[in-house]
């Protein structure tokens, strides 16, 4: 799944129609994603540029993105030079995966400057480079001369374009060599598009007709099963596809694909902490169980002590071990001894060990119970982080800070606490569906927000989200809520997931458990197959 030069040409044509575009703000969403807030003719636009090795792209987006609180050096450079400026021209360099955004802006002394923001979308070499008068001001990924002496990208150096290969322009030349791959003959062709053209040509379509179809297309054809897309139908795949307007198609394909990585990047310390605590408590549990097993086998120490006291007059010397006859069975029992002590003192040591083990049975059992609660708690957080959004992760961070597992970040600006957490809300017809994706949201929705007659959904016997249905109860709404409960759960990738549902009046808080956990007095169950595509459609069409 990659963007090629001909598809980038279609994006360049659509973006150029909106010029000039004023840059109101530059934001960096993640390590590889940049969002430009633009305006023209009293209308706002959001331009997404990603330099990710797999998800590199440029497109107008309607999705909401949250910026991290700490800005990178490169985004500060962009804000300094081009915030408030105008994109006056967008041009593709040949049919390469490279766009030149020409920007005019004024400095603090009202002097006019012309900058070029080069958007290089070449897989693992994807990059953003800001240039003035052919001198590099800065780049998102710097490449110093000692790393690459052919094409260095470093502040102060002269900017050079990537090496251009000697190929034909498919819009001007249409004679093809049948024995050679189209990627080697023409600019802008990816292997995927080359296979499609060859397939169609073999099925009696002409090169010119296919190029005309590509040139006139404003749609994106997405083949989910093969994870491929282009602006023309890919007939050689012989598979079903979804068709979207060009810009929206990139949102559909990439937003959810990169969302988890974006959240993980912005909340990496949470994942590390949860994994560390799980590993620590799992190792601790293993040792505690071993200690309890030894403590439960303490009766033998009392027997050892009794025998040593009874026979001590027969063994005045210090020994490493002794075999004594049991009072009841008459069998010989082998007793290890500490050679530093006589029989009486060894007997005393065994009595002390017996007493200590009896005490340990209760104390270790308590420690095992506490350790098990810790494992359950962090297992729950691990599941919640897997489907957490940006705000959900922030609330999990707040919970961990409150519980003392994580130190508050002193550099982070304090935000006023809102009365309600950021739960997910969907409106389908007149029905409202609420989804809690962490402990704070679950607790608020279930025990503070929902009415007693509302329906509550949760996967059976596994960690997952609390889903509340406020509205008409019918088969469709029950299946929708069950689908959401199964998707936002530990059983997301399973089939026939059992989901319990009951009225709020049949719930009570689980004492001694994590915040938000509930117990049911009665319930019904439904089995459902989680379907990510259906969930994405729900979020796209019904999210409030």
User: SS3 of 259, please?
Assistant: helix
- Are 44 and 37 in contact by the 8 Å Cβ rule? The answer is yes
Question: Is residue 88 within a helix (H) or strand (E), and if so which, with residue range?
Answer: strand 86-92
Strand partners, 455: 469, 503
Q: How far apart are CA 417 and CA 421, in angstroms?
A: 9
Count of beta carbons in the 10 Å neighbourhood of residue 24: 13
> What integer pLDDT is reported at residue 370 of this predicted model?
92
Strand partners, 131: 116, 136
DSSP letters of 441-460?
HHHHIIIIIS-TTSEEEEET
pLDDT value at 451 more than 80: yes
By CB neighbour count within 10 A (0-12 exposed, 13-18 middle, 19+ buried), where does 154 fall? middle
> What integer pLDDT is reported at residue 416 of this predicted model?
52
pLDDT digits (tens, 9 = 90+) for 34-72: 999 999 999 999 999 999 988 899 999 998 887 766 788
Higher local confidence (pLDDT), 353 or 6: 6
> What integer pLDDT is reported at residue 67 of this predicted model?
72
> What integer pLDDT is reported at residue 177 of this predicted model?
80
Average pLDDT on 274-278 reads 94
If you ran DSSP here, which 8-state letter would residue 162 be given? Answer: P
Confidence class for position 514, pLDDT limits 50, 70, 90:
confident
Give me the percent of the chain exceeding a pLDDT of 70. Answer: 97
> What integer pLDDT is reported at residue 293 of this predicted model?
86
pLDDT digits (tens, 9 = 90+) for 69-99: 678 899 999 999 999 999 999 999 989 999 9
> What integer pLDDT is reported at residue 418 of this predicted model?
57
> What integer pLDDT is reported at residue 29 of this predicted model?
87
Closest CA to 442 of 472, 478, 467: 467
Confidence class for position 311, pLDDT limits 50, 70, 90:
confident
pLDDT digits (tens, 9 = 90+) for 335-368: 999 999 988 999 999 999 898 888 888 899 999 9
pLDDT value at 261 more than 80: no
> What integer pLDDT is reported at residue 10 of this predicted model?
95
Q: How far apart are CA 74 and CA 140, in angstroms?
A: 6
- Measured in whole angstroms, how far is the alpha carbon of residue 270 from the centre of its chain? 12
> What integer pLDDT is reported at residue 84 of this predicted model?
95
What Rg, from alpha-carbon coordinates, does the chain have? 33
pLDDT value at 288 more than 60: yes
pTM summary value: 0.68
Taken in order 274, 279, 281, 285, the sign of the CA dihedral is: positive
pLDDT digits (tens, 9 = 90+) for 464-506: 999 999 999 999 999 999 999 999 999 988 999 999 999 999 9
Question: Structurally, what CATH architecture does the domain formed by 5-139 represent?
Answer: Roll (2.30)
Helix, strand, coil abundance in the chain, percent, nearest 5: 40, 25, 35
Q: How far apart are CA 404 and CA 198, in angstroms?
A: 62
pLDDT value at 417 more than 80: no
Domain ranges for the chain = 5-139, 270-385, 424-542
Reading the block at residue 245, the tokens are 């307007």
DSSP letters of 109-153?
T--EEEEEEEEE--GGG-EEEEEETTEEEEESS-B-TTT-SSS-B
User: SS3 of 211, please?
Assistant: helix
Q: Which fold has domain 270-385?
A: Helix Hairpins (1.10.287)
Average pLDDT on 197-208 reads 92
């Amino acid at each position: 799944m990659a963007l090629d030069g001909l598809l980038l040409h279609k994006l360049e044509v659509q973006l150029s129609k909106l010029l000039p575009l004023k840059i109101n703000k530059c934001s960096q969403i993640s390590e590889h994603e940049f969002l430009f807030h633009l305006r023209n003719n009293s209308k706002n636009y959001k331009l997404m540029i990603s330099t990710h090795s797999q998800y590199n792209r440029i497109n107008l987006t309607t999705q909401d993105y949250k910026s991290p609180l700490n800005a990178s050096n490169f985004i500060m450079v962009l804000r300094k030079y081009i915030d408030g400026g105008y994109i006056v021209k967008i041009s593709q360099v040949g049919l390469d995966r490279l766009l030149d955004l020409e920007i005019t802006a004024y400095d603090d002394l009202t002097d006019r400057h012309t900058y070029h923001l080069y958007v290089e979308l070449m897989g693992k070499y994807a990059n953003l480079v800001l240039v003035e008068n052919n001198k590099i001001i800065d780049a998102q990924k710097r490449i110093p001369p000692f790393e690459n002496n052919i094409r260095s990208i470093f502040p102060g150096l002269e900017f050079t374009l990537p090496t251009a290969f000697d190929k034909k322009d498919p819009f001007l030349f249409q004679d093809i060599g049948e024995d050679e791959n189209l990627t080697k003959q023409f600019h802008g062709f990816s292997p995927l598009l080359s296979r499609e053209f060859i397939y169609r040509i073999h099925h009696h379509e002409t090169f010119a007709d296919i190029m005309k179809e590509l040139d006139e297309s404003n749609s994106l054809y997405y083949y989910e099963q093969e994870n491929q897309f282009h602006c023309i139908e890919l007939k050689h795949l012989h598979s079903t596809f979804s068709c979207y307007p060009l810009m929206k198609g990139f949102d559909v394909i990439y937003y959810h694909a990169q969302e988890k990585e974006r959240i993980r990047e912005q909340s990496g310390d949470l994942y590390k902490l949860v994994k560390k605590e799980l590993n620590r408590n799992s190792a601790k549990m293993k040792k505690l169980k071993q200690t309890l097993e030894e403590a439960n086998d303490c009766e033998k120490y009392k027997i050892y002590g009794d025998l040593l006291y009874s026979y001590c007059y027969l063994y005045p010397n210090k020994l490493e071990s002794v075999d004594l006859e049991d009072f009841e069975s008459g069998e010989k029992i082998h007793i290890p001894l500490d050679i530093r002590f006589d029989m009486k003192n060894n007997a005393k040591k065994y009595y002390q060990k017996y007493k200590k083990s009896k005490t340990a049975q209760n104390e270790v059992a308590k420690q095992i119970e506490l350790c098990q609660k810790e494992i359950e708690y962090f297992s729950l957080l691990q599941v919640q982080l897997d489907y957490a959004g940006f705000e959900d992760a922030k609330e999990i961070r707040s919970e961990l800070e409150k519980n003392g597992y994580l130190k508050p970040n002193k550099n982070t600006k304090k935000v006023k606490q809102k009365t309600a957490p950021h739960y997910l809300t969907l409106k389908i017809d007149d029905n409202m569906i609420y989804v809690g994706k962490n402990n704070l949201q679950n607790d608020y929705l279930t025990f503070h927000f929902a009415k007693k007659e509302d329906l509550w959904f949760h996967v059976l016997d596994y960690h997952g989200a609390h889903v509340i249905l406020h509205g008409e109860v019918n088969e469709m709404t029950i299946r929708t809520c069950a689908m959401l409960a199964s998707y936002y759960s530990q059983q997301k990738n399973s089939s026939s997931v059992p989901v319990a549902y009951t009225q709020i009046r049949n719930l009570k808080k689980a004492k001694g458990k994590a915040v938000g956990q509930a117990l049911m007095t009665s319930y019904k169950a439904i089995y459902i197959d989680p379907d990510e595509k259906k969930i994405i459609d729900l979020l796209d069409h019904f999210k409030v």
